[in-house]
A and B are shown apart, each in its own frame.
Chain A
Amino acid sequence: MATATFRIWRGERGQGKFQDYTAEVSAGMVVLDAVHQIQAEQAGDLAVRWNCKAGKCGSCSAEINGMPKLMCMTRLNTLPQDRPVTVEPMKAFPHLKDLVTDVSWNYEVKKRIPKFQPRQPDAPDGTWRIAQEDVERVQEFRKCIECYLCQDVCHVLRDHHMHQQFIGPRFLVYAAALEMHPLDVGDRVEDLRKQFGVGLCNITKCCTKVCPEGITITDNAIIPLKERVVDRFFDPLSKLFRTFSNSKR
Chain B
Amino acid sequence: MAEYITHEHDVLIIGAGGAGLRAAVEASAAGVKVAVISKSLLGKAHTVMAEGGVAAAMGNVDDRDNWRVHFADTMRGGQYLNNWRMAELHAKEAPSRVRELEAWGALFDRTSDGRILQRNFGGHRYPRLAHVGDRTGLEMIRTLQDHGIHLGLDVFMEHTVVTLLKDDSRIAGAFGYDRERGRFHLFRAKAVVLATGGIGRAYKITSNSWEYTGDGHSLAYHAGAALMDMEFVQFHPTGMIWPPSVRGILVTEGVRGEGGVLRNRNGERFMFKDIPPLYTSQTADTEEEGWRYTQGDKNAKRPPELLTRDHVARCIRREVREGRGSPHGGVFLDIAWIKERIPNATEHIKKKLPSMYHQFKQLADIDITQEPMEVGPTTHYMMGGVKVDPDSQMSDVVGLFAAGECAAGLHGANRLGGNSLSDLLVFGKRAGEYAAAYAKENSLGAVNTDELESAEKWALQPFERKGSDNPYVVQHTLQDVMQELVGIVRQEQEMLQALDRIRELKAASERVSVEGNREYNAGWHTALDLHNLLTVSEIIARAALERKESRGAHFRDDFPAKDEKQGVFNIVARKGAGGEMQLTREAVPVMRQDLQQIIQEMK
Contacts and interface: CB of A to CB of B under 8 A. Distances in A.
A64 to B, nearest CB: 14
Contact of A40 (B115, B476, B516): B476
B476 A27 contact: no
Contacts of B359: 54-55
Given A47-B522, A59-B40, A131-B114, A28 B107 contact: no
Contacts of B102: 127-128, 183
Interface string A107-146: 1001100011010010000111111100100110011011
Contact of B523 (A45, A138, A143): A45
Contacts of A53: 209, 246, 249
A51 B149 contact: no
Nearest to A46: B522
A44 B525 CA distance: 10
Given A26-B243, A28-B244, A129 B523 contact: no
A212 to B, nearest CB: 9
A50 B138 contact: no
A51 B515 contact: no
Interface stretch (B43-51, B161-169, B485-493): B43-51
A98 B104 CA distance: 37
- If over half of A's interface residues share one DSSP class (helix, strand or loop), that class is named, otherwise mixed; here it is loop
Interface residue range, chain B = 35 or more
Given A28-B363, A53-B249, A54-B49, A59 B41 contact: yes
Interface string A85-109: 0000000000011101011100100
Given A12-B519, A29-B243, A44-B471, A55 B135 contact: no
A56 B115 contact: no
B210 interface: yes
Nearest to A116: B105
B110 A135 contact: yes
A132 B110 contact: yes
Contacts of A111: 149-150
Interface string B355-387: 100110011100000000000000000000000
B139 interface: yes
A115 B146 contact: yes
Contact of B44 (A51, A96, A184): A51
Interface in A168-190: 178, 181-184
Contacts of B231: none
Contact of A55 (B43, B103, B139, B358): B358
B524 interface: yes
Given A59-B44, A73-B363, A129-B115, A47 B521 contact: yes
Interface in A8-50: 12, 26-30, 33, 39-41, 44-50
A115 B138 contact: no
Residue of A46, A50, A52, A131 with most chain B CB atoms under a 10 A cut-off? A52
A127 B130 CA distance: 14
B244 A26 contact: yes
A45 B516 contact: yes
A182 to B, nearest CB: 8
A57 interface: yes
A68 interface: no
A129 B114 CA distance: 4
Given A100-B520, A107-B42, A145-B138, A132 B109 contact: yes
Contacts of A52: 44, 46, 48-49, 209
Contacts of A131: 110, 114
B81 interface: no
A10 B255 CA distance: 42
Most chain A CB atoms below 10 A, which of B41, B109, B135:
B41
Contact of B519 (A73, A97, A103): A97
A75 interface: yes
B313 interface: no
Contact of B242 (A28, A58, A107, A183): A28
A178 B107 CA distance: 11
Nearest to A133: B110
A130 B48 contact: no
B113 interface: yes
Contacts of B114: 128-131
B514 interface: yes
Given A44-B472, A47-B522, A131-B114, A110 B146 contact: yes
B133 interface: yes
B472 to A, nearest CB: 4
B470 A44 contact: yes
Contacts of A181: 105, 107
A184 B107 CA distance: 11
22 contacts: A30-B245, A39-B522, A44-B514, A45-B523, A47-B520, A51-B46, A51-B48, A54-B49, A54-B249, A54-B250, A55-B358, A57-B209, A59-B40, A100-B520, A111-B149, A118-B105, A128-B114, A135-B107, A135-B110, A142-B139, A178-B105, A183-B105
Counting from the closest, the 8 A-B pairs by CB-CB distance are A28-B243, A45-B516, A44-B523, A129-B114, A116-B105, A40-B472, A47-B520, A51-B209
Given A54-B250, A57-B49, 10 more contacts: A28-B363, A39-B522, A40-B476, A54-B359, A55-B362, A96-B519, A102-B180, A135-B110, A142-B138, A183-B105
